Chains A and B, each alone.
Chain A
Amino acid sequence: DTGVSQDPRHKITKRGQNVTFRCDPISEHNRLYWYRQTLGQGPEFLTYFQNEAQLEKSRLLSDRFSAERPKGSFSTLEIQRTEQGDSAMYLCASSSQNYGYTFGSGTRLTVV
């Protein structure tokens, strides 16, 4: 296992389009997190899964955002009707109860 994988690495989309990102966590980790990071800032929590259950969502996660983890393995984050303010790095992380968070390399979203 090579760590947390995210796809795509970069995405450029036109305002109003929908985008979907994928995260493959470390296989033995049952916990998965999505964060958003803008330039010069630390990552901000969006949502958290334990296995397939979405247990927590930040108020940053507007109605246009939806995340799933259907089989408790990979996860997807979809943004509908993208806005320029959605431009950011979207980071996925995973953990198990006894190990610290491991982050992926992120998906850089640019909305034009």
Chain B
Amino acid sequence: GESVGLHLPTLSVQEGDNSIINCAYSNSASDYFIWYKQESGKGPQFIIDIRSNMDKRQGQRVTVLLNKTVKHLSLQIAATQPGDSAVYFCAENMDSARQLTFGSGTQLTVLP
């Protein structure tokens, strides 16, 4: 079946640098996307979401970009901090009320 996947399983960045985490999705009917952060032993924490009628959305230190042409989603974290170290998942669905399909995650490590 169709699924969401991530380009890189691990990413290491220097503290203070910007991070970019990428995600490819295959279901062209998906219209809602979410980025989650998950720390060890905890549940996924909502970071930012975007609907398919947008191509960019900004939050506090985070930006999500959506390219529907190539079915690509990215999460940009500005001035990465040690507390940003975690696994990041993208998720998609076709109806905000229903199930999400997750990728396998990217482990972000922030180096001092």
Contacts and interface: CB of A to CB of B under 8 A. Distances in A.
Given A100-B46, A104-B43, A42 B96 contact: no
Interface string A35-65: 0000011111100101000001010000000
A101 B102 contact: no
Contacts of B43: 4, 6, 91, 103-106
Contacts, number: 55
Count class of interface residues, chain A: 20 to 34
B99 interface: yes
Contacts of B42: 105-106
A2 interface: no
Given A41-B104, A41-B105, A104-B43, A56 B99 contact: yes
Nearest to B36: A103
Q: Across chains A and B, which 8 residue pairs bring their CB atoms closest together, nearest first? A: A42-B102, A103-B43, A45-B99, A105-B43, A103-B44, A106-B43, A42-B89, A100-B49
13 contacts: A31-B97, A40-B105, A41-B105, A42-B91, A44-B102, A48-B98, A48-B99, A56-B98, A56-B99, A91-B43, A103-B43, A103-B46, A108-B41
